[in-house]
Amino acid sequence: MKGLNDKQAEAVMQTEGPVLLLAGAGSGKTRVLTHRVAYLIEEKGVDPYNILAITFTNKAAGEMRDRVDLIVSHGAGRVWVSTFHALCVRILRRYIDKLGYENSFTIYDSDDQKAAVKACLKKLNIDPKQYSEKMVISEISKAKEQFIAPYEYDREASGNYRKMQIARVYTEYQKRLKQSNALDFDDLLYKTVELFQFNPGILDSYQERFKYIMIDEYQDTNHIQFLLVKLLASKYRNLCVVGDDDQSIYKFRGANIYNILNFEKEYPEAKVIKLEQNYRSTGNILKAANGVISNNEGRKEKALWTEESDGDKVTFSLYDTEYLEADGVVSEIVRRHREGRPYHHFAILYRTNAQSRIFEEKLLLKNVPYKIIGGQNFYGRKEIKDIISYLKVIDNGQDELAVRRIVNVPKRGIGDASILKVMAYADTYDMSLIDALYAASDIPGLNRAASKIEAFTSLISEFKDYVEEGVSLEELYDSILERTGYMDELIAEGTDEASVRIENLNELKNKIVTYESEAETPTLSGLLEEIALVAEVDSVSENEDVVLLMTLHSAKGLEFPCVFLGGMEDRLFPSNMALNSDDSDAVEEERRLCYVGITRARENLHLSASRQRMMNGSTNYNPVSRFVKEIPGDVITINGEGAYAIKKQEKNLFESDNDFRSVNNTFSQRKPYSYYGSNTNRNSGKSYGYSKSTAKMPLFGKEFKVTAADIDYGVGDRVSHVKFGEGTVIELNKGDKDYEVKVQFDKPEYGIKRMFASFAKLKKI
């Protein structure tokens, strides 16, 4: 019990019955789990054979075993420490014959799954363009997570043609797996639950084996995992689950937050212990985290605290553009590094992978070493390399690697055997690969592949003609995505992975649009040269002193002395998808993700946002994230250095007010004038009122006069349109007879629209 605080000690000693340990970020939950195992063995005399501890990764399982070994005199090796999947494999290897399989079953990986589904689609004569392998696999996986059998899925799909087709594939897929004596990863849990349900004697033997069960990261469990745990623990009910509902951020992977929120309903006699003392972050960082997460309704009440000092305040900087934001972040890292901070003390976190590009470019320009965690270099991602290869071939067809990469991407029926014949022909006649492809009709043995190669070379010729005709690089890029069917294929795939790839392609378009607008004489060769200069990043070893870049999802479980959290804007974070979702939990999950990001910081936390940001090739004006506004005013400061349009009087006003939310409207495009319309600056005594004839949007630094009586909105106001929905006024110009209004609409398909006020009939929200 040495070194444990009171609550940790209570959690260790509460060994009987169901226990819910609400372990906040940095509260030492792993320490509690390992000491609890040791306490059961050393103090309670429990046979290690009767203890089961489930973690989510093999690495975490190994670490737990090692730590238990250090504090237990003997027997630690007999404790069953495992992931869910490893536990199920061991059980099924012994008993799966009860379900009609052989015990020597094989486990399909993702490629095996894809091949099996592809064969099913072909057998059932279902168009793979309408029902892509990845989309079907995703739907089947979701069904298995809910413990829904093929016949149940088919029954529930009645009347829904799309689901009825997927039900056919699901049925055929499971039939094919059974014939091959194979399971996929979802089957490992599904078949174990099925085994227990139909074989109570086997279930009883494992209930006797696992009299004490502990589950880590319980907030990340899905429904099938919940069912498995419920079955195993139903006899002795000595179940201890450890988790933090405020860190439940994997709903897209099937995690069900209600497993932890409803634990006391499932186990009414449960003992709930809150681990709220934090050993990671300073007081101000914890107050910021508590201020944000307290706005979620679907959570267990708790608040992190520390015995350490408050430390530095959280800083927030607002920049004109995302490029200035990235430059500001990297400049601050460089400054602190010169003061003696090693690079590995810094982490840059962001909501989406696509945001990494600009940070990468700025880090390279300032010669700052970095590494991306949980993702590739932006220009190293498959979809980016594919489209850049198209651009290379259009610009210079002699690039053999680029030609080979795209000749059958997307798939157009040109196989490896055909390419080898073309390459042999090129070698024989000392030709480049692209020239040999243009001569496909002369190459013997190509047969039907010749016409497919000709279609490819015709497409390349068409793109080359576009360039000679002087079309913009943006138009060329759009044509490549459209004419090749690359984007259509990703849209049809309909998976989370495809959505990420689409985001990355949109970010590449942002790069192209920016280059074209800034270069004196933009050319395709110039674009490719600029990309090559920033894309050439050497691999970094684990031990090097580097700045780490990662998404917020990848950052979970990690901690850093200094964290920069970029892109703090509504419609980016929280995401536009979450804001427009019918799911009431969507924004709350985004808020939990923000809480995870904040609590990664030990000493310093820097938040930043951009007034305007290019998204999918268009400039967007997004309000500052609501999450920034939820941070208490006494723990956050506005960094006016380098931030745009932060006027000194506004900074003074902010600093004199203890409640940041009272000046939130300074950063809100929804109600930009409400604070200034009725309050007086207590420092200067000056009143910042406005009238209908003269209105000022403080942060945007623009003044305009409103004289028409029928116009009741201005720059920054939220408005609605009968067709385009809700949006934000970003520009308003008075003409001779009417106002010209420029609106950034929320729905990405509408984007920015210019219209005359008398026709637009916008209504202020």
Tens digits of residue pLDDT in 546-575: 999 999 998 888 899 999 999 999 999 999
| Residues 22 and 264 sit within 8 Å (Cβ to Cβ) | no
Q: Which of 8, 225, 247, 352 is catalytic?
A: 247
Single-letter amino acid, residue 248:
S
Taking the CA atoms of residue 507, residue 509, residue 513 and residue 514 in that order, the dihedral angle to the nearest 10 degrees is: 30
Interval 412-463: pLDDT, tens? 888 888 888 998 888 888 888 889 999 988 888 888 888 999 999 999 999 9
CA distances, 667 to each of 315, 625, 645 (Å):
15, 9, 11
Mean pLDDT along residues 624-639: 91
CA distances, 330 to each of 343, 370, 494 (Å):
11, 11, 35
Bridge partners for 694 per DSSP: 705
More confident: 339 or 692? 339
Mean pLDDT along residues 151-164: 91
Q: Which of 405, 511, 600, 718 is catalytic?
A: 600
**Where residue 543 falls among pLDDT bands split at 50, 70, 90?**
low
Which contacts (CB < 8 Å, 24+ apart) does range 385-390 have?
Answer: 386/486, 387/477, 387/480, 387/481, 387/486, 387/505, 387/508, 388/508, 388/528, 388/531, 390/463, 390/480, 390/484
Q: Which of 14, 30, 277, 619 is catalytic?
A: 30
The full DSSP string for 131-160 is S-HHHHHHHHHHHHHTT--HHHHHHHTTT-
Q: Which of 7, 29, 36, 591 is catalytic?
A: 29
Helix 496-518, helix 356-365: angle, nearest 10: 50
Measured CA angle at 118 (ends 112, 119), to 5 deg: 95
- Please tell me the predicted confidence (pLDDT) of residue 542: 54
Say which DSSP state 575 is in.
B
**Where residue 533 falls among pLDDT bands split at 50, 70, 90?**
low
Catalytic: 30?
yes
Interval 72-107: pLDDT, tens? 767 667 888 888 988 998 899 899 999 998 887 778
pTM of the model: 0.71
Q: Which of 217, 570, 585, 588 is catalytic?
A: 217
Catalytic: 130?
no
User: Looking at the predicted structure, is the pLDDT value of residue 530 above 90?
Assistant: no
**Where residue 684 falls among pLDDT bands split at 50, 70, 90?**
very low
- The answer to which of 124-133, 627-636, 682-691 has the lowest mean pLDDT is 682-691
Structure tokens that stand for 686 in this block = 């000056």
| Residues 370 and 548 sit within 8 Å (Cβ to Cβ) | yes
| Residues 134 and 114 sit within 8 Å (Cβ to Cβ) | yes
Measured CA angle at 59 (ends 55, 61), to 5 deg: 40
Bridge partners for 83 per DSSP: 55
Mean pLDDT along residues 384-389: 91
- Please tell me the predicted confidence (pLDDT) of residue 400: 78
Interval 645-659: pLDDT, tens? 333 333 333 333 333
CA distances, 696 to each of 470, 672, 683, 690, 703 (Å):
43, 9, 20, 7, 5
Catalytic: 247?
yes
Mean pLDDT of the chain, nearest integer: 83
Catalytic: 496?
no
Interval 16-57: pLDDT, tens? 999 999 998 999 888 898 899 989 988 898 998 999 999 877
Catalytic: 307?
no
Dist. CA 698–CA 686, nearest whole Å: 15
Catalytic: 216?
yes
Q: Which of 145, 216, 361, 588 is catalytic?
A: 216
